[in-house]
Structure 1
Amino acid sequence: MHAVRADFDDSTIVVYQAYAPAIAEPALRAGRFVAPFSFRRMTWIKPSLPWLLHRSNWAAKPGQERILAVRITRSGWERALAAGELTTGDQQRLAAAEVHVQWDPERSLRGAALNHYSIQVGLGRETVRTFVDEWIVSLTDLTPQIRRAAELVRAGRTEQARRLLPEERRYPLPADLAARLCRV
């Protein structure tokens, strides 16, 4: 099943990214992404924290030691999705697209693939600038609580770890976006 699960409220949604400290620390000080963050390459945003934790090995992979919660406007999120092309779709359209949309198996806190899919959205150069300058509401460093949760998972205390993480629920995609992006 393809559905967006996220931490959101009436006007914002949280997406997650993993960075090296050299990128995360200046961004956190500025409250937005600044150099050495690259505005010249695609950046991927993910509303599923468990998927990102799996991908970053719980903030242990080199270059992914800091987990940031990036709260952005829902209008920006939906603009990105509206501009998106599925990575499994027409490759010529994908090559020309400013935004890429990919679905991967969601992960449990122990890393097992689940029977539903998590969305990732790749923002191209033009959209990255809009993301940083217009959509970001706040940046929060989740690394300390992620490290505590990782210790709990390793100790077999998965439910305690889950309580340290934000709750994610099904995001109400507009019908046209759901029909186009969740058809895979």
Structure 2
Amino acid sequence: MKGIIYTGGELTDLVTLARLPVYLQTFLRAQNGMVAYFGGLHLRGCVAAPGWHSLAAVWQGERALWRTYAELKKSDIPFGQDCVGNQFLLRGDAVLFLDTETGELADLDVDFKHFLFGAEKFPLDALGMEPLRTFQQAGGVLQPGQLLSLYPPLCIATNRAAAPAAKAVPVARRLDWLADFYRQIKDLPDARP
């Protein structure tokens, strides 16, 4: 992978590691997660700290994603996220994509190995990196432990031709904001054309 700005270092959460499928254990033993593509993809690691890099925190902790998003199962493994906080999960051997604004879940029709291959071959499209690209072209830089906060949210249709305003915020703040936004809109009826 290109543009690696963070690597996870030593495996310090062996309990979580032992619960993972063998292929993910093998991947994390070789490299305990990373932030690649200058913030376009964060693959979580089995660590106690930093909290933003901890797989256990978003999988089984107090702020586990399945506690908020109705479509998720407790067994879904949130192994990674994109630059705005959308999640990549394993359900069995299938990679799923969670839109964290709307809670919509999509099967990407790939396994973990092919997900990594697609991300490496077509990062802009496979990882939805257009907001990051626009942010970078304006001089912005994402640091490890940060995600992009977009306003207005992407799920809100606007008549403006301009891209949403983006700013770098800590991962926890962004994920909390997305969870709160999802809770507010999840029971709204779909818009009619």
Is the TM-score greater than 0.5?
no
More contact order relative to length (CA 8 Å, sep ≥ 6): 1
Question: TM-score normalized by structure 1?
Answer: 0.28
Structure-2-length-normalised TM-score: 0.27
